[in-house]
Amino acid sequence: MKKKKRFDMFQQAQKPAWYLVALERLLTFFWLGFEKVFKGFKLDKRETKHLKGPVLCLSNHASMIDMPIAVAALTPLKTTWVAAIEEFDGKEWLFRKMGIIPKRKFTHGTVTVKHMIRAVTKNKVTITMYPEARFIVGGIGEQLDGGLGKLIKIMGVPVVRLTIQNNFLRSPQWCKHPYRDIPIYAKTSVLVSAEEIKNMTADEIQKRVEQSFVYDQYRYQYDHKLLMKSKNRAKNIHKILYKCPHCKSEFTTDSDGTHIWCNSCGHKWEMDGYSRLHAVEGETYFEHVPDWYLWEKAEVRREIEAGTYRFEDIVRVTHHINASELRYEGTVKCVHDANGFAFSGTLDNGETFDLKKSVASMYSLHIDYNFRKKGNAFDIATDEESYFMYPVLNANPLTKLQFAVEELYNYYIRDGHNRDHKDAETAAKPVESAE
C-alpha cells in the first residue's frame, strides 16, 4: 500500500493571510447581520472593545456560529484558533493559511503550547480557544484541562472571556437540525488582565478560569423566559438522558418531538417551551435537564468507586491519516475500565492493532452522536495518531463513556485514589501504512 504523508504537527503556524481575514469579516458581517435582524442576536463587547492585542480569548463552544461570533467580538484584532486537525478535512491549505494552531483532542503533547506561545509573542496574533475542547452536550460547562492556568501564566497576554448564551439550545450536539427558535446572546469581558497574570499564581488563574465556565444554558433560558416553540425541542435528548430515573434501567430511553420516555417501564415526560420536563403521569424526578444529566454522572462515579464500571464492545476503526483522508481500517475489541481504554484485534489488512490509553492520559472524551453521518463515534488520539471509533453493539453508549473517562480521571488522578496509572498513553501502533 502506498504510504501517505502525515499531517505535520510541528510545522510553524503562520500569520492569518490578510485576504482570509477580510473574507472572515465579510462573511461574519452578513451571517450575524441576518441573525441580528431575523433571530434577535445581540453582542456586547463594550468591556473589551479598546483592548490591545494580542489576547487569548476563551469561549464556550456548541455550534459553528461560535466562530463568526468570535471574529465579531474581537475585531479589530485578528484572531486565529486552536483546532483539532480533523476539523479541516481536505483543506489543509486553508488550515495553514488561517494560521490555525493544530491540536489532537485530549492529549498532553507540548507542540500546541509552543505554537500558541509563538503566535502571541512573534506573530502578535490573538488566539481563540475553546477550553472545553468539544461541543458541549448537556447545556452546562464541561470539565477543563487542569493546565490552563500554567498556560496563561506562560503566555502572559490578557485573557478575554467570550460568553455565548443559547448557542447550545439553538443546535444541540445530539440534534443539530432543525435549528431551534431561540436568540443567541454573546458578551466579552476581561477575565485576567496582563497585570493580574504577573501577580497571580497559576493555580489562582486556573480557579478563575474554571469559575467562568460554570454556566447553565437551560437555567438561563428559564430565568429569562425565552420561549422555544420548536416542535422538536426534545428530539434525541435521550442521547444524553440515557438512564431512566424511575426504573433505573440504562439505555432504554427514547425521544421524539416534545417527549422522552423509557421503553422498559413506560415512564414518560413532556418538555415545555422553557425546556422544563414534566411527567405525563407519576413523579417527574427531574424538571431541569442538567439535574438528570448530572445524576447520571454521579451514578457512573458510584460504579467507579464500587469497582464495577466496565464497558465492552466491538468498534469500527477509522484512522485519520492526514488532512485529506479518514480511512476505515476494520473492527477490533474495545474495553474501557479502571485501567483506561484497550483496543485489540486484527485489521482488515491483516495487521495487528493494539492501542492502550491509560486513565491518566485523558481527562475527558470527545464524542459525536452522528459523526460524518455514520453514527455514534468517539475520538481516541495519541501524540502521533487520531482515530474515530464507532461502537457496533451498544446503541447509545457515548454520554456514559464521556462520564466514565472524566470520573475515572477525577477519582484516580485528581483525587489521588490508589492505582498504578502512568502519566501518558501506551500505544502500540499498528504497522501502518502512513508516515
Task: Read off the pLDDT of each residue in 368-372 and give the average, rounded to a whole number.
Answer: 93
Distance CA 127, CA 70 (A): 10
Q: Is the pLDDT assigned to residue 432 strictly greater than 70?
A: no
Mean pLDDT of 303-324: 92
* Model pLDDT for residues 374-402, shown as the tens digit of each residue: 999 999 998 888 999 999 999 999 999 99
End-to-end CA distance of the chain: 12
Name the residue among 316, 302, 319 with its Cα closest to residue 408: 302
Phi, psi of 28 (to 5 degrees): -60, -40
Q: Give me the mean pLDDT over the 99-122 stretch.
A: 89
Whether the pLDDT of residue 353 is over 60: the answer is yes
Whether the Cβ atoms of residue 70 and residue 160 lie closer than 8 Å to each other: no
Euclidean distance between CA atoms 183 and 43, whole angstroms: 11
Distance of alpha carbon 172 from alpha carbon 139, whole angstroms = 8
Q: How confident is the model at residue 424 (pLDDT cuts 50, 70, 90)?
A: very low
Whether pLDDT at 430 is above 80? no
Q: Residue 321: its pLDDT value, please?
A: 77
Residue of higher predicted confidence among 424 and 275: 275
Q: For 13-63, what is each residue's pLDDT tens digit? A: 889 999 999 999 999 999 999 999 999 999 999 999 999 989 999 999 999
Determine how many CB atoms are found less than 10 A away from the CB of residue 108.
15
Is residue 321 within 8 A of residue 4, CB to CB? The reply is yes
Mean pLDDT, residues 64-75 taken together: 97
The pLDDT value recorded for residue 106 is 80
What confidence score (pLDDT) does residue 425 get?
A: 52
Q: What is the pLDDT of residue 94?
A: 86
What integer is the mean pLDDT of 168-175? 96
- Cα four-point dihedral sign 73, 76, 77, 83: positive
pLDDT at 423 > cutoff 60: no
Output the pLDDT for position 421. 57
pLDDT tens for each residue of 289-304: 999 999 999 999 999 9
pLDDT value at position 320?
86
Residue 292 pLDDT: 99
Q: Is the pLDDT of residue 434 over 80?
A: no
- Rg of the chain, C-alpha, whole Å: 22
Which is higher by pLDDT, 2 or 206? 206
Which distant-in-sequence residues (6+ apart) come within 8 Å of 357 by Cβ? Answer: 340, 341, 380, 382, 425, 427
The yes-or-no verdict on residue 115 having pLDDT over 80 is yes
Is the distance from CB of 144 to CB of 209 less than 8 angstroms?
Answer: yes
Find the mean pLDDT for residues 78-83: 94
